[in-house]
Amino acid sequence: MSSSGPSEPTGQAVLASLLRGVLRGILKPRNRAGRPVAAQRRWLEKVARIARVPGSIRIAKGSLRGIPGEWVEAKTRRESSRTILYLHGGAYCIGSPLTHRALAGHLALVCKARVFVADYRLAPESPYPAAVEDAVSAYRGLLESGAEATDIAIVGDSAGGGLTLATALSLRDRELPLPSNLVVFSPWTDLSLEHLGAEPPGEAMLNRDWLDECARFYAGTASRYDPLISPVYAQLAGLPPTLVQVGSDELILSDAERLSAGIEAAGGRVRLSVFPRRWHVFQLHAGVLTDSDRALREVAEFLDATAPPC
């Protein structure tokens, strides 16, 4: 586990404060219980358009086994067989390939990979198990297209982080080939909210009432303790090497900590990196915030270090 980072330069501290303020001012107030989900989706897509999308990537619509999404990769990608299946966040109710295009682009460049951002079905229109079924189908589509499991990593943020774990658990239980690695940013792994503490002063995006509503929409008639809804309650043995990144200032910090402890207790290989003074899915600010770039470099190093030998 890593929880220390270099001292923060004054310029970065000011920039971080501004970014946190922007999120609190334009995103957090609109992600609230009782607000129409369609309006939340539209607003998030508007906000996402200001993110810094790298100019050196190309984007193409695509699908895997009928699951729509976007392919993102460098325009001049070096020879590499690495593929990332990216599962976006948004509490299982909002978010899309568009909202995560910038992050996917930076991942593609740093990790020298092609990235497929799956446009999986969302609640409340499509509650559990729709998202898991779609993610598993997209992964199987990668295999059927010729990708080797040993060259695939599944990466996700927030709810997409929980979905990353649920997908890997489903693949394991179906005895399908597992990806080489898992990477999760600020994973939401306990939709029961039973262990959720008080909102920390530095929280920039989430609040309990909104999470509770989205969890209710997603779980539908199923139990929130179902291990494919809340993977922290799953039997976690047999998973691929897993990197967990989280900020110290976020409401669901304990989800990341408990997940990492559970994987370790089950004999798995896991690395937990806690970034001081950072908020929920701060990796979205890659290309702007130094810690976000450092986090993605850690992802690339982790994928390289845990890749199966050729």
Catalytic residue set: 158, 250, 280
Q: Name the strand (E) or helix (H) holding 84.
A: strand 83-87
**Token pair in block for residue 153:** 């990593």
The number of angstroms, rounded, from the C-alpha of 189 to the middle of its chain's C-alpha atoms is: 11
Amino acid symbol at 166: A
Long-range contacts of 10-13 (CB under 8 A, 24+ apart): 12/289, 12/290, 12/291
Q: Which of 199, 191, 193 is nearest to 217 (CA)?
A: 191
In whole angstroms, what is the distance from residue 120 CA to residue 307 CA? 27
**Alpha carbon of 235 to those of 156, 226, 238: distances in Å?**
20, 11, 9
In whole angstroms, what is the distance from residue 159 CA to residue 174 CA? 22
- 47: exposed, middle or buried (C-beta count within 10 Å: 0-12, 13-18, 19+)? middle
In whole angstroms, what is the distance from residue 225 CA to residue 222 CA? 8
**Alpha carbon of 192 to those of 163, 250, 284, 304: distances in Å?**
15, 17, 26, 35
Where does residue 87 fall: left (phi above 0), alpha (psi -120 to 50 degrees), or beta otherwise?
beta
